Amino acid sequence: MIASTPSPPYYAVIFSNIRSDVEKGYAETAQLMLELAEQQPGYLGHESVRDGLGITISYWKDLESIRLWKSQSDHQLAQQMGRDQWYTSYKTRICRVERDYGFEADQKE
């Protein structure tokens, strides 16, 4: 569930969002966009959580990969639907991951 990503530098797109009450088409489109993103060149992984506020972070090899995904035609349509129907507000932040570190507890049997 925590994305496995290579050593920095790589890029992150943080998509913070608040949903509207329109359900129609949302879940299917979100799932489809995820499947399409995974096929894009430069896709490295993603993490997604919602509890009122939704945060989806996708990780990418470089800015060009992010640009190509943003302009992908099905994704363009989904972005338009998002603004028209599914979100009351969102903020997208394009970030360069400069450093990372992690922790894994010993596996307990």
Residue 21 binding a copy of itself, by CB under 8 A: no
Residue 53 binding a copy of itself, by CB under 8 A: yes
Query: Long-range pairs for 44-50 at CB < 8 Å and ≥24 separation?
Result: 44/3, 44/5, 44/6, 44/10, 45/3, 45/4, 45/5, 46/3, 47/1, 47/2, 47/3, 50/19
Residue 90 binding a copy of itself, by CB under 8 A: yes
Residue 92 binding a copy of itself, by CB under 8 A: yes
- Binding residues vs a copy of itself (CB under 8 A): 1-3, 5, 8, 12, 14, 16-18, 20, 47-55, 57, 82-83, 87-105
